[in-house]
Chain A
Amino acid sequence: MPESEVIIGIGGAAGDGTASAGNTLVLSMARQGIAGYGYNSYQSVIRGGHSWLRLRFSAKKPLNHGDQVDVCIALNQDSLDRHLQELQPGGVCLYNGAKFQPSYEPPTGVQLCGLPVPDLAPDSVKLPVMQNTVAVGAAVQLMGLEFETLAAVFETTFAKKPAVVQQNVEAARNGYDYAAKNFQPLEAKLHRTDQTWAQCSGNDLLAMGAALAGCKFYVAYPMSPATHILEWFANHAKRLGICVRQVEDEISVVNMCIGANHMGVRGMCATSGGGFALMTEAIGMAAIYETPAVIINVMRAGPSTGVPTKTEQADLNQAFGASQGDFQRVVLAPISMGDCFVTPSVAFDVADKYQIPVLILADLLLCEGSETVATDVLNVDFTIDRGELITTADGSHQEPYLRYKNTPSGISPRAIPGLPGHLYVSGTDEHDEDGVLLSDVFTDPTRRKKMVDKRHRKMATILRDLPAPILEGPADAETTLLGWGSTWGVIKEAAERLVADGASVNHLQIKTMMPLHGNEIAAVVEKSQRLIIIENNHSGQFARHLRAETGIVANGHIRKYDGEPFEPKHIVSAVNDIIAGQEVVDVLSTEPGWRTDHPTGTSGPWEGLQQVTQPDVPIKT
């Protein structure tokens, strides 16, 4: 375990309270200036099954959940059996010793910390979740942190229930004190810093970022992993004056969203791949209406219902191909949870300025994960650029208003409906500059071409308003690692480790998927001898896109489509494989903890380990 970094895994069944135990820990860390990153691997059940929340804490802001566990908090026998084996020497395993016992010998150097929970929290007999509080208290002790901040978190969490605060503080205190007397502290120590952190998920930040960017209308249908955006908006609607609706399906969602945008408000909607599939027809409507719209697809593993609680980056082609016909769109993929905050603002501005649909491709990893974000990153004024929007009738208007005026830029000043003197009808049929349909005439090649050209012309200058690729590391490195969207943090760490090991590596991360900064990418790739594209899908959707747009063919591909996100060690190992001559490396999460004979995804209790897999099994040989 690196100095001043601790990775905690909390395992339990759905309903055992893994998430609330995790939130308590993260918040108490954040309040002490310690940065955190959380990824919860869970299954699609409401009660039972298994979930495994990994929290990485460090003075240096962690950008992924890391690749081992130092502290395991097992909330049930199943979790103890699954995860004890993956602890590293020096690691500790906390569990309710009155209820659970290890089924096998722990790895060498791992401390077993059975907590006599009934003695430490008598309430736990009636209220089993009190075991979580005891364990959290003990974990805080072992990390060498003060108790008071943890106690204050309970005061915030249960602000309206003083009795519950007291109950939790006592239980945590007892766990904290018991651990001091009976267990060895962790070698790694976390230290208080002066940084103020906010702890939020990507969904939180997409929602808040949109609201701060002027979003006045949000509409959605519940779909994991995007549902929380709707919940955030619903909880803040009244206070912020945002109209928030849940409606019958995603077809209704997107049409309502475009309707509101058409009238001149900034409206947004979000869904996942299945719901996005239902939205596709209307995306073409926004394009031919030249009505701005911001639509988020929080990707999960497909196709179809796929693996609803698992992450993947496989909807790139869906975003590119959404809706019939030949029209322009922007597709943005936020590269970190923090970036989720800024992306809606960029999307709204570009949508308004160019009067086009803008799609945001986030994913489960970003949106359901949680990350500490420096408060000064969030405490910023977004400049809101509504583009050429006519919101008042000035009376001096003598020429007939042409909603779809054929201008040199292709952008036509957009009057919002309701203004005197600017009447127009928008048609999903092809139409002329005044909005009158061309579709029902015998044929009109000249005007049809004029209108198609006008809409496409808007894209000539759009790239300069979109986030360019980010190059990190030496420009003349031998190997370039290229990723897009949510993989930025994990590739960054892998690249740093490779460099530390003596490899010549840099890292290029793409956020603007369409249109593509082809020249900028080519300039980087030209200087490097080896291009490796890393993506969370099977077929290399971005690699194909890059080849189509630029002719650049990658030398190696690292792909993962098993539902679990990349960890730094996966990429380090796979890059070395490619340098050694392999072309495509498919990464599978079969390291300890996953490399068990346990049938994954079952919701019943585990029958026991048939064969203990050694924790040091390398993932690639």
Chain B
Amino acid sequence: MSPSATVVDVKVKDFKPAVHPDWCPGCGDFGVLTALYQACAQLQIQPHNLMVISGIGCSSNLPGFIQSYGAHTLHGRLLPFATGCKLANQEMTIIGTGGDGDGYGIGLNHFIQAMRRNIDVTYIVMNNEIYGLTTGQVSPTSETGMKTKTSPHGNLEGMLNPMALAMAAGCGFVARGFSAQVKHLVELYKAGIEHKGFAVIDVFSPCVTFNKLNTYQYFRDRVYKLEDTDHDTSSFHAAMDKALEWDPKIPIGLFYRNPDPRPPLDALDPALTGLPLVQQDYTIDSETRAELIHEFM
């Protein structure tokens, strides 16, 4: 990658790398990525202050397609990795990106714990209701009854509701977007990144190759924007009601923003109240050392 020193006026092009995404033509993830370039440019985030961290799956290739620091981690483990990164350097903007299998399947425990822990990370989940990279198996967000390669007679299991789950886990910023509505997504991202604490943005990101049920048309027919209603984003109960809505209409937009959020973990940990950990002196003076030894005497 080319050297990129501090940029005076950050533009979308500053985030566009030489590498072109290898997603299928028409993949929903393109909209997710485009919106991310725009949100970061509009917020004037310096590329070197941005770290994008993903798990494994088609959508988790995203860090390779944005000019910033990045890590493409293990399947389901992006949130623990991102938490370690944020705790080590809370001055960086940390964005997690992954898919529904990654975050709601193999990584579900970490998702819940990260919300409870309230680390200041923005988590964008490209939810296509299918396992795409492994060529079309059932996902935790696949609808009940949906036929896939591994549910040939229809999905027997219930469908995970990430919005209601996030509410229950104490997440202070809960939103959902649709990758075909990029401008709307940009606003959600910006609000999520600016939120001090864990923010989850679930994005309907259709898999044009393997999911013939949850298509662009499927969502176009169903989604409506909460911003177009009188939804009170500061009300937990109103947000929970909206989170439980699915059929026939599906709300997108900001469900909930805690009006009185707890400070994020990275602002509470006593070791992080001054400089970021990575900039702190890591030596221990001989006087303190003598005191530590004395504890054993």
Contact = CB atoms under 8 A, between A and B. Distances in A.
Contact of B22 (A217, A400, A440): A440
B277 interface: yes
B271 A262 contact: no
B38 interface: no
B82 A259 contact: yes
Contact of A256 (B67, B72, B81, B293): B81
B293 A260 contact: no
Contacts of B3: 397-398, 400-401, 420-422
Contacts of B51: 417-418
A198 B291 CA distance: 12
A248 B284 contact: no
B88 A265 contact: yes
Contact of B113 (A27, A252, A401, A429): A252
Contacts of A266: 282
B74 A255 contact: yes
Given A285-B74, A401-B1, A436-B64, A418 B278 contact: yes
A417 B297 contact: no
B85 A425 contact: no
A255 B77 contact: yes
A429 B72 contact: yes
Interface in B87-128: 87-89, 91-92, 109-110, 113, 117
Nearest to A399: B3
A522 interface: no
B161 interface: no
A281 B48 contact: no
Nearest to A372: B296
Interface in A367-415: 373, 375, 378-379, 381, 384, 393, 395, 397-398, 400-401
B289 interface: yes
Q: Is the interface of A mostly helix, strand, loop or mixed?
A: mixed
Nearest to B78: A255
Interface string A446-465: 00000000000000000000
A248 B270 contact: no
Contacts of A264: 88-89, 278
A267 interface: yes
A470 B192 CA distance: 57
Contacts of A589: none
B217 interface: no
A197 B48 CA distance: 50
Contact of B297 (A30, A215, A240): A30
B196 to A, nearest CB: 18
Contacts of B80: 247, 251-253, 255-256, 259
B5 A393 contact: yes
Given A252-B113, A262-B84, A216 B67 contact: no
Interface in A233-284: 236-245, 247-249, 251-253, 255-267, 281-282
B209 interface: no
Given A204-B296, A419-B48, A423-B1, A244 B278 contact: no
A243 B81 CA distance: 15
B113 to A, nearest CB: 4
The list of the 3 closest CB pairs from A to B, nearest first, reads: A259-B84, A425-B70, A263-B88
Interface of A: 27, 30-31, 196-200, 204, 208, 211-212, 214-217, 219, 236-245, 247-249, 251-253, 255-267, 281-282, 285, 289, 373, 375, 378-379, 381, 384, 393, 395, 397-398, 400-401, 416-429, 434-437, 440
Given A247-B80, A248-B110, 8 more contacts: A260-B84, A260-B85, A263-B84, A398-B3, A418-B48, A418-B92, A422-B3, A424-B70
29 contacts: A216-B278, A239-B288, A245-B269, A247-B117, A251-B110, A255-B74, A255-B77, A255-B80, A257-B84, A259-B83, A259-B84, A259-B85, A260-B85, A261-B88, A262-B71, A262-B84, A262-B85, A263-B84, A281-B74, A282-B74, A379-B289, A379-B290, A379-B293, A401-B1, A419-B48, A420-B46, A426-B71, A427-B71, A429-B72
